[in-house]
Structure 1
Amino acid sequence: MRAIVVSRPGGPEVLEWREVPDPRPGPGEVVVEVAAAGVNRADLMQRRGQYPPPPGVSEIPGLECSGVVVAAGTDVEGLAAGDEVCALLAGGGYAEKVAVPWEQVLPVPAGVPLVEAAALPEVACTVWSNVFMTGRLRRGETLLVHGGGSGIGTFAIQLAKAFGSRVVATAGSAEKLDRCRELGADEVINYREEDFAEKVRADVILDIIGAKYLQRNVAALNTGGRLVVIGMQGGSRGELDLGALLARRASVHATALRSRPVPEKGVIVRGVRDNVWPLVAAGAIRPVVHEVVPMAQAARAHRIVESGEHIGKVLLSAVS
């Protein structure tokens, strides 16, 4: 098969489309013939040499895909050759085929085209596990989403609204702010012009920035609020005011998805299938796709994501 290989740490130009051995399903795994793969910022970090895959995981980038099951190993439940699926991966998605534990595989939701389904697994599992499982967002509470125009942001807005929460989103351009409103955000804040900590009080904050926002995130929490940090685009080291945290009886959580063991991912995936997929099938939530790029042109897709000007997901199509 062909796959994108990172020839050396560096810029997008180090991504090479070349022949590699086909994957074989191990026990508890299926092989998916890939229709499309999602591009995530973690892939950019891996390309730069800053985010290596966990031990034993494919060096090929790609944390999510959609496609068709073509082979299954032993001890696989509920999947067979020919099934149209999408999957949460620890790596290997930028390829024509990928092996994945069956617990991390989801059916393509009704009404979603196969290629577009690649935009769903990573964002759905990230938002469900962090906003609802860890953050315990409840109906009527306020969610503050940083990076509302991102893949995670666009999904978080829709899912929180579908569960009856109030949503505030930050973004850095008028176009992105307008899109956040269209997706259901009750309030939008241009982080280039306004201080969100002076404008909003939130019960749950989903943060992709990290250190740069830490103090202001704590200041923006309601009593009993939960800050969930899932990214470090603004640095990894910050000063935490424990007095402010204690005064609010609030909590700070930092989580990652890729490094979790398969059984933990399986719990998240089942939660997504049971609680999120019916909303997608009903049209209450839709994947937001900025552009679909041929997989051989992965370097161009990475440049789009690095520019920060996209809204929603950038996908790589393996369909010729």
Structure 2
Amino acid sequence: MRAATLTALGRPLIVADVPDPRAGGGEVLVEVLAASVPPYAGEVFSGERRYPIELPIIPGVGGVGRVVAAGPDATKLAVGDLVWCDATVRARDDALTPDIALQGWSSRGEGGAQLARHLHDGAFAELMRVPTENAHPLPATADPARWSALTVYTIAYGGLLAADLEAGETLLVGGATGNLGSTAVAIALAMGAGRVVAPGRNRAALDLLADRFGTRVSPVELTGDDHADRAAMTAAAGGPIDVVLDLLPPSAPSSAARTAAMTVRERGRVVLMGGVGMLGGADLALPYPWIMRNSVTVRGQWMYPRAANAGLIRLIASGVLDLTAERVTCFTLDQVNEALAHAATHPGPFDRTVLLPR
């Protein structure tokens, strides 16, 4: 098969023939039809994001494809099925605190690294093998390129599930004008959020959110003045803010995450999923008395539970969550480095860069 391989950090990916993967017990082999290229992929491959990856690697964080072969433990999957390949791989020998790796992308801890060595390569290839439980059936009519955005949507959905977002509640999304944060806005509204406060500095992106979703979205243009921004976000909610979901990137200052978090109401929930402090910047410092006296719940969430895949697929298949307005730009496997450059310069709301290995 042909695949794009990262052989050294900071070097272009090399497209060449490599041996076909072979699926073992508990795995399926998938022909990759489409794989999302995240806007920050270049930062991962350059080493800027300091992700723990072992080289050489065929990268790619999830993809859409067709089942080529399935093992005897697959009781419903069949050859030819269109599937979403979830990159979040969990070890099977610890149900309580399983080690986790993102196939073709990164891992967590030594156990995660061990898992990543076994399921090493990702979706920037014509074929990939995935655990049987990570291949999720899609509607036969699903457009692979458009549905490859599940790479982004599942993350935001995981944050909203962690927040126990209820219909009618008000949500504030930190990083709402970004590629990931904007998906959280869309999913929250599909889940029935009464209002979503969308702070950001990009006026054009804020206007796009307001135009697409109407009055249930309250955009707030940030100034950098923490006191003024907190007051503006609180006012935009038109009432108590029940949940704050932080999806700010590593480049964002911790003060921005703190200012947003402290808009939440008494007994509200704050979910942290962003990258604040990952590159050595100041850590998030929320006041102990404020958390305690206001009975605020603060929760970290990395990725999402396995069941989130099925839930999100249902939301899209039912039409409640609409992908038709997304701007999808496709590249062939031979154009993988051009795809990386395009993704980096198109990081805005609902901009999708997609690799088509076949």
- Bin for the TM-score computed over the shorter chain: 0.7 to 0.9
Cα distance change, pair 109–127 in 1 and its aligned pair in 2 (3 A):
farther
- Work out which of the two has the higher radius of gyration on C-alpha atoms and give 1 or 2: 2
Aligned equivalent of 1:36: 34
TM-score by length of 2: 0.76
Give secondary structure in 1 for the equivalent of 2:196: strand
| Equivalent pair of 1:38/1:65 in contact (CA under 8 Å) | yes
**Is 1:164 aligned to residue 192 of structure 2?**
yes
**Is 1:229 aligned to residue 272 of structure 2?**
yes
Aligned equivalent of 1:188: 219
Question: Gaps (5+ residues) in structure 2?
Answer: 88-102, 105-121, 235-240
Give secondary structure in 2 for the equivalent of 1:222: strand
Task: Quote the Cα distance in structure 2 between the aligned partners of 1:192 and 1:152.
Answer: 21
Aligned equivalent of 1:200: 233
Deviation at 1:229, TM superposition (A): 1.7
Q: Once the two structures are aligned, what percentage of the paired residues are identical?
A: 29
Deviation at 1:309, TM superposition (A): 4.4
Q: Which amino acid aligns with 1:317?
A: L
Task: Quote the Cα distance in structure 1 between the aligned partners of 2:261 and 2:175.
Answer: 17
Deviation at 1:163, TM superposition (A): 1.9
After superposition, what is the alpha-carbon deviation per residue over 1:134-176, rounded to whole angstroms, capped at 9, x for unaligned? Answer: 1111111111123334343232222211222121223433332
Cα distance change, pair 252–67 in 1 and its aligned pair in 2 (3 A):
same
Aligned equivalent of 1:78: 76
**Is 1:314 aligned to residue 353 of structure 2?**
yes
| Equivalent pair of 1:207/1:228 in contact (CA under 8 Å) | yes
Q: Which amino acid aligns with 2:355?
A: L
Cα distance change, pair 69–129 in 1 and its aligned pair in 2 (3 A):
same
**Is 1:243 aligned to residue 293 of structure 2?**
no
Cα distance change, pair 26–43 in 1 and its aligned pair in 2 (3 A):
farther
Aligned equivalent of 1:5: 5
**Is 1:220 aligned to residue 253 of structure 2?**
no
Cα distance change, pair 232–180 in 1 and its aligned pair in 2 (3 A):
same
After superposition, what is the alpha-carbon deviation per residue over 1:249-274, rounded to whole angstroms, capped at 9, x for unaligned? Answer: 112222223xxxxxxx7xx343432x
Q: Which amino acid aligns with 1:189?
A: V
| Residue correspondence of structure 1 range 23-62 to structure 2 within 5 A | 23-40=21-38, 43-49=41-47, 50-53=50-53, 59-62=57-60
Q: Which amino acid aligns with 2:61?
A: L
Task: Quote the Cα distance in structure 1 between the aligned partners of 2:83 and 2:335.
Answer: 24
Task: Quote the Cα distance in structure 2 between the aligned partners of 1:156 and 1:110.
Answer: 26
Aligned equivalent of 1:260: none
Deviation at 1:239, TM superposition (A): 2.3
Question: Gaps (5+ residues) in structure 1?
Answer: 258-264
Q: Which amino acid aligns with 2:206?
A: L
**Is 1:136 aligned to residue 164 of structure 2?**
yes
Deviation at 1:105, TM superposition (A): 1.8
Equivalent residues, number: 303
* Backbone CA RMSD of aligned residues: 2.6
| Equivalent pair of 2:64/2:83 in contact (CA under 8 Å) | yes
Give secondary structure in 2 for the equivalent of 1:79: coil
Aligned equivalent of 1:278: 314
Give secondary structure in 1 for the equivalent of 2:76: coil
Cα distance change, pair 308–197 in 1 and its aligned pair in 2 (3 A):
farther
Higher alpha-carbon deviation: 161-170 or 195-204? 195-204
Aligned equivalent of 1:68: 66
Cα distance change, pair 286–52 in 1 and its aligned pair in 2 (3 A):
farther
Deviation at 1:69, TM superposition (A): 0.7
| Equivalent pair of 1:196/1:220 in contact (CA under 8 Å) | no
Task: Quote the Cα distance in structure 2 between the aligned partners of 1:101 and 1:299.
Answer: 28
Give secondary structure in 2 for the equivalent of 1:157: helix
Deviation at 1:236, TM superposition (A): 6.3
